[in-house]
Amino acid sequence: MTRIDLHTHSIASDGTETPAEVMRQAQRAGLDVVALTDHDTVSGLDEAARVADELGLEFVPGVEFSASIGPASVHMLGYYVDATSDELLATMQQTRRDRESRAERMVARIAADYPLTWDDVLAVAEPGATLGRPHIADALVARGIVADRSEAFASILHWRGGYYQPQEAPSPEDAVRIIRRAGGVPIVAHPASRGSRVMEPGRLDALIHAGLAGIEVDHRENSHEARATLRAIAERHSLIVTGSSDYHGAGKPNQLGEYTTALTELMKIQDLAGRA
């Protein structure tokens, strides 16, 4: 059986390993096909592709594109995007600026109650990384304020924690269109972890009209009940179904290959991208 994991992160965004090390870990985990999908950056793709080739892995270039519905974040995975697309690069650059500005605002609020500074956040981030809440979490861990990222997100960084700030980002529909115009295949990431708004009938119709290709169904942040609902939605609308780990190295408990994508679904993605 071909083992396929289409959602991983490196230090180019908020993972804890280099793109090369992510590929090495993928081989150790027994994967055959792996995608690198860093947040709002394609800077790690060349390194990952080179090492994957050396290791005999099939590599799928990707990105996790930030979008939002009001104050709620939505993430859109884009596979086989043109990494030189001017529109894609410009949008991601603006989104990274907005993510950093949002992170600074959150740190300023947190600093009123905890011994945390923006320099603490910069100290735990790799140069050029897409800065965001995971780096604030790492700084909180380094300061001894929380034990790990999970505790940080369950408390201080939770949207009910009192420090949350909304992120400026394209709408999910615009994210889908931008990925499509860059030659990519858009799959909405773990939608049940963001609540049900992205899969409401009106919103889903708009996403499909914009070019949505599929849904990441099998993911630890989608409950068993939600997976059944999402799978039914995908079948009803002839959407691609994927499953992935959302691996972040030591940044999350997620393990490579804990959820995988069927080869038939990967072939549909490749066919849409002209990579069959």
Q: What is the pLDDT of residues 33-49, one digit of tens each?
A: 999 999 999 999 999 99
Look up the CATH number of the domain holding residue 50. 3.20.20.140
**Domain assignment of residue 268, yes or no:** yes
Q: Are residues 81 and 8 in the same domain?
A: yes
Radius of gyration, CA atoms only, the chain: 18
Q: Are residues 61 and 43 in the same domain?
A: yes
Looking up tokens 């939600």 gives 226
Question: Which ranges of the chain does DSSP label H, i.e. alpha helix?
Answer: 19-28, 45-55, 86-110, 118-124, 133-142, 149-154, 172-181, 201-210, 224-236, 263-272
∠ at Cα 99 (226, 195), nearest 5°?
Answer: 15
Q: How far apart are CA 275 and CA 268, in angstroms?
A: 10
Return the closest-CA partner of residue 75 out of 199, 166, 214, 191: 191
Q: Are residues 174 and 261 in the same domain?
A: yes
Q: How far apart are CA 23 and CA 108, in angstroms?
A: 36
Low-confidence ranges of the chain (pLDDT < 50): none
> Against a cut of 0.85, is the pTM above it?
yes
* Residue 165 near residue 73 (C-beta atoms within 8 A): no
* Residue 77 near residue 52 (C-beta atoms within 8 A): no
* Residue 3 near residue 30 (C-beta atoms within 8 A): yes
* Integer angstrom CA distances of residue 126 from 14, 22, 32, 63: 9, 15, 28, 18
Find the farthest-apart pair of alpha carbons in the chain and give their distance in angstroms, rounded.
Answer: 54
pLDDT value of residue 15:
94
Look up the CATH number of the domain holding residue 115. 1.10.150.650
**Domain assignment of residue 237, yes or no:** yes
Domain containing residue 142 = 102-154
Output phi, psi for 156, to 5 deg.
Answer: -60, -40
**Domain assignment of residue 126, yes or no:** yes
Q: How far apart are CA 18 and CA 197, in angstroms?
A: 34
pLDDT value of residue 121:
96
**Domain assignment of residue 214, yes or no:** yes
Q: Are residues 106 and 76 in the same domain?
A: no
pLDDT value of residue 194:
64
Output phi, psi for 73, to 5 deg.
Answer: -85, 145
pLDDT value of residue 159:
81
